[in-house]
Amino acid sequence: MQPTAAFFDLDKTIIAKSSTLAFSRPFQAGGLISRRAVLRSAYAQFVYLVGGADHDQMEKMRLFMSQLCAGWDVATVREIVAETLHHVVEPLVYEEAVGLVDEHQLHGRDVVIVSTSGTEVVEPIGAMLGADHVVATRLEIVDGRYTGEIEYYAYAEEKANAVRALAEERGYDLAECYAYSDSITDLPMLEAVGHPHAVNPDRELRRAALERGWPVLVFTRPVALRPRVPLPPARPTLAALAVGGAVAAGGWWWSARRRDTPGSG
């Protein structure tokens, strides 16, 4: 019998937000970005959550993130992600997704995360979740710093290409493989396997899933992961800044929304 795999998108499929933008506050605490950039990323996060991730929005997010990180020290980014991972990501992980990961591994399937977010963020999250493989966007690095250019963009059709390449390398029977995503931009990846699932789908993917008779799943419940896997301890100061920053960003957006809502006075 050929081996099989379950391919998971990350953002809004396994976790409730954009994994990259979720680290904006820790990056500010680590001295990488300004408060203004944090507010811009909060805005991008809000648009992403409310409006989904169509091609134009993903392109804007790609440009924003690649330009933002130009000149960043790679070792610093990796250190910040490792130290704040359990504060930033753990509250965002869907219990239903964790259950699916466990179920697929129990049935002997590899679990593969295929994400448009950067590898420095996706790989630690994959390790935290116990994924077998990770496919993610790679940013160009020169002399230990990001140049602002993208070396490999794991997006749309390229995700499907990566799934097929990994299947050829690992011997997966794609007809017996599973895939999960929330976005219409991942339609090629979903169509590449025999068992596609739409998770918290945007409007276009929901329509496509219903037309094709694919299961539509709704994930809502967060779960604590620290008892499941060992995580590196965080420096108290940096961790506190990260958590406090996330709360501040949420409060800023709530205030802005109330000001913009008629009758919210």
Q: What does the alpha-carbon distance between residue 94 and residue 107 come to, in Å, rounded to a whole number? A: 20
Strands ordered across the beta sheet of 145-152: 145-152, 133-142, 110-118, 5-8, 178-181, 195-199, 216-217
- In the residue annotation, 132 being an active-site residue is answered as no
Contact 98, 128 (CB under 8 A): no
Helix (H, G, I), strand (E, B) or coil at 195: strand
Q: What does the alpha-carbon distance between residue 207 and residue 205 come to, in Å, rounded to a whole number? A: 5
- In the residue annotation, 11 being an active-site residue is answered as yes
Task: Single out the catalytic residue among 11, 110, 182, 186.
Answer: 11
Whole-number CA gyration radius for the chain: 18
Q: Mention every residue, 6+ apart, whose C-beta is less than 8 A from residue 207.
A: none
Residue 28: Cβ-neighbour burial (10 angstroms; 0-12, 13-18, 19+): buried
Task: Single out the catalytic residue among 9, 110, 186, 202.
Answer: 9
- Characterize 66-98 residue by residue with b for buried, 16 or more Cβ atoms within 10 angstroms of its Cβ, and e for exposed: bebbeebebeebeebbbbbbbbbbbbbbbebbb
β 133-142/145-152 pair status: antiparallel
Cα 196–chain centre separation:
18
Give the orientation angle of helix 119-129 with respect to helix 74-88, to 10 degrees.
40
Active site residues: 9, 11
